[in-house]
């Protein structure tokens, strides 16, 4: 059997891999803080933060919208939402015109939690900006280019 030579490939210089690792590390750094203090997971955080500031001015956000915005599978969003509902942090309603569409909203307890949690996230954002210093503006511009649809 003849083996075909493989092209040179440096995983440590492969941008998609490096972005994924950087995202996982930075996400986990923040997650350790809110997991310890509030007992919530990364998927739960992602659901809560989207409910904190609905983009269309409505007070509710659909599971589908969250799934699309955070690139998280519908089942993960649904499981996180169920745990948050059981904890009294969010309320679910079913859309009258489409029973398959579930909308979510923060409860008063959820709003109180986010009032404490969002300052942690903002402080972490400032920490990242400080760590990256002058490179931060370039990173932001690059991320905008990659995330543009």
| Contact of 84 with 129, CB cutoff 8 Å | no
- CA-based torsion, 134, 138, 139, 141: positive or negative: positive
Per-block mean pLDDT, blocks of 10 residues, the chain (149 long): 89 95 94 94 94 75 85 88 96 82 91 96 96 95 90
Q: What is the pLDDT of residue 64?
A: 84
Would you say the pTM of this structure is higher than 0.75? yes
At CA 32, angle to CA 42 and CA 30, rounded to 5?
Answer: 70
28-130 — its CATH code? 1.10.10.10
Q: Where are the domains of the chain?
A: 28-130
Which token pair is 142? 């690059």
Q: Which residues pair with 104 in a beta bridge?
A: 61, 92
Q: What are phi and psi of 96, to 5 degrees?
A: -65, -40
Coil, strand, or helix at residue 78? helix
């Amino acid at each position: 059997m003849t083996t075909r030579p493989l092209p040179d490939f440096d995983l440590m210089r492969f941008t998609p891999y490096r972005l994924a690792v950087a995202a996982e590390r930075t996400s986990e750094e923040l997650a350790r803080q809110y997991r310890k203090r509030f007992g919530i997971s990364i998927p739960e955080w992602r659901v809560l933060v989207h409910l904190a500031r609905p983009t269309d001015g409505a007070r509710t956000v659909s599971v589908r919208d969250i799934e699309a915005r955070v690139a998280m599978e519908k089942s993960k969003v649904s499981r996180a939402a169920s745990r948050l509902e059981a904890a009294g942090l969010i309320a679910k309603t079913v859309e009258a015109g489409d029973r398959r569409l579930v909308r979510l909203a923060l409860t008063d307890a959820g709003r109180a939690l986010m009032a404490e949690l969002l300052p942690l996230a903002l402080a972490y954002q400032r920490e990242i900006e400080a760590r990256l210093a002058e490179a931060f503006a370039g990173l932001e511009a690059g991320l905008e280019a990659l995330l543009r649809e």
